[in-house]
């Protein structure tokens, strides 16, 4: 039987988190395949998968000297399903969530969902250890991906609002169409594959279904690339672990060719690379003035705002405008935690939740029992803009907030 869903898990180095990630997939339906693409030299994972005696799990060894994007590209070669997603090796699927998706996919090019984020107890920041952040509303909306991409290139929304292959199921036809339109025949044609894929999918899709509730849980542990890259002072070992992300700016066209921790700079760099890699068609230029404003806006939220401000100053010079000092509108913001995220932070009691699998089981109740017809697109975009207005007014924007479970 050809599987409907392919879940790809690329692994660089084996850690204990991966076993809980695999546990979250055992209870999923039969029409899936779980592709574990392993670049480590450890045989423990291979033996564990064999012990599961589950033919949905497929294990492949691959070269260990591949870049981040090459790694994901190689893993895609094993896919046989109609819809594809990539799952991090410290993430999890919410129990039985794929059974829910069976009802909802219909004829969409991609289905994406709201993000739930769990920080493992070994997270490098004390105030993030064993915490869960989630936004949930029980609705679905059919979206126009071209409009989302327009908002993203204007830096009105972040790339996470686009359908990425990480946190979305993408139809294999969209992946093939993107490969055909890439000069090198690649789906991951950039440096940071999840960011690049968000642009490629939005450009080559005609319909996207957005779910207002989570299907997966993003894990952030001490070994997660995003966590390491966000450090204010990275050690040489840290830089080696995330060398692709750390050196990405060297491959980006101007003005993204400056080292910066800013997600906006990474998105700009990947957007410009996507435009360069296109074989046919065209894509609108990014709004650099809005990008500059975004840098000043987000600088207080980083551990090292100075690097973001340096990027902003260099970008100002590139645009021929005078750099300005940022106005710190939010005096109560903690660095590394934005307004909405802080309000949706859940401190998890260790006796109930101590890992990403436990977090996924806790979130199971957020998935509606029955799939409801999609709402109008106008409602979704109204929500985006009202969210921006509310945050700017520093109002109490409450997504889903429980301070402590007793």
Residues 6+ apart with CB under 8 A from 22: 9, 34, 36, 48, 49, 52, 57
Contact indicator for 35, 75 with CB cutoff of 8 Å: yes
C-alpha to C-alpha distance for 57 and 7, rounded to whole angstroms: 10
Picking from 231, 273, 227, 230, the residue whose alpha carbon sits closest to that of residue 248 is 273
3-state secondary structure 236-289: HHHHHHCHHHHCHHHHCCCCCCCCCCCHHHHHHHHHHHHHHHECCCCCCCCCHH
pLDDT of residue 331: 35
CB 116 within 8 A of CB 216: yes
Looking at the DSSP bridge assignments, the partners of residue 404 are 347
Confidence of residue 349 (pLDDT cuts 50, 70, 90): low
Q: CA-CA distance, 277 to 270, in Å (whole number)?
A: 10
Please, what is the end-to-end C-alpha distance for the chain in angstroms? Answer: 45
pLDDT, tens digit, for every residue of 266-319?
999 999 999 999 999 889 999 999 999 898 888 887 777 788 888 888 888 888
Sign of CA dihedral 173, 174, 178, 181: positive
Convert the pLDDT of each residue in 17-64 to its tens digit: 899 999 999 999 999 999 999 887 777 888 999 999 999 999 998 887
pLDDT at 63: 80
- Residue 76 pLDDT level (bands cut at 50, 70, 90): very high
Are the beta carbons of 179 and 188 closer than 8 angstroms? Answer: no
For the chain, give the number of residues: 406
* pLDDT (tens digit per residue) in 173-215: 999 999 999 999 999 999 999 999 999 999 999 999 999 899 9
What does the DSSP 8-state code read for residue 167? T
Mean model confidence pLDDT for the chain: 82
Tell me which of 206 and 341 has the higher pLDDT.
Answer: 206
Is 140:104 a contact under the CB 8 Å cutoff?
Answer: yes
**pLDDT tens sequence across 366-385:** 888 766 667 655 555 555 44
Instruction: Give the model's pLDDT for residue 113.
Output: 94
Beta strand 208-211 with 110-113: parallel, antiparallel or unpaired? parallel
Instruction: Note the pLDDT tens digit of each residue in 103-141.
Output: 767 689 999 999 899 999 999 888 888 988 887 888 888
Report how far residue 189's alpha carbon sits from residue 185's, in angstroms, rounded to the nearest whole number.
Answer: 8
């Amino acid at each position: 039987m050809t599987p409907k869903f392919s879940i790809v898990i690329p692994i660089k180095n084996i850690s204990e988190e991966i076993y809980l990630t695999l546990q979250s997939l055992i209870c999923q339906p039969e029409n899936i395949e779980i592709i574990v693409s392993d670049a480590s030299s450890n045989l423990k994972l291979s033996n564990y998968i064999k012990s599961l005696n589950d033919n949905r799990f497929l294990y492949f060894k691959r070269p260990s000297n591949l870049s981040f994007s090459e790694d994901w590209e190689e893993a895609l070669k094993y896919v046989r399903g109609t819809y594809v997603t990539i799952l991090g090796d410290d993430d999890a699927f919410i129990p039985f969530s794929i059974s829910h998706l069976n009802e909802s996919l219909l004829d969409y090019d991609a289905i994406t969902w709201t993000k739930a984020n769990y920080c493992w107890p070994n997270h490098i920041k004390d105030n993030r250890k064993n915490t869960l952040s989630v936004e949930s509303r029980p609705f679905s909306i059919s979206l126009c991906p071209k409009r989302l991409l327009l908002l993203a290139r204007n830096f009105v929304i972040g790339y996470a609002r686009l359908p990425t292959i990480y946190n979305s199921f993408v139809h294999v036809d969209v992946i093939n169409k993107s490969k055909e339109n890439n000069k090198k025949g690649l789906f991951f044609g950039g440096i940071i594959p999840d960011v690049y894929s968000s642009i490629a999918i939005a450009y080559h899709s005609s319909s996207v279904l957005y779910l207002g509730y989570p299907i997966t849980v993003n894990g952030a542990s001490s070994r997660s690339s995003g966590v390491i890259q966000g450090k204010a002072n990275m050690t040489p070992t840290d830089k080696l672990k995330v060398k692709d992300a750390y050196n990405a700016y060297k491959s980006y066209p101007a003005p993204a060719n400056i080292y910066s921790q800013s997600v906006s700079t990474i998105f700009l760099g990947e957007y410009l690379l996507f435009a360069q890699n296109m074989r046919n068609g065209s894509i609108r230029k990014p709004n650099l003035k809005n990008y500059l404003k975004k840098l000043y806006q987000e600088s207080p939220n980083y551990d090292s705002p100075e690097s973001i401000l340096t990027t902003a100053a260099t970008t100002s010079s590139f645009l021929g405008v005078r750099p300005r000092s940022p106005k710190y509108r939010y005096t109560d913001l903690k660095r590394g935690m934005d307004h909405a995220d802080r309000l949706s932070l859940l401190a998890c009691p260790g006796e109930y939740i101590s890992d990403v699998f436990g977090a996924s089981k806790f979130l199971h109740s957020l998935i509606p029992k029955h799939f409801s017809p999609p709402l109008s697109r106008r409602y979704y975009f109204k929500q985006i803009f009202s969210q921006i207005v509310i945050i700017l007014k520093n109002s109490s924007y409450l997504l889903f907030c429980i301070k402590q479970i007793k």
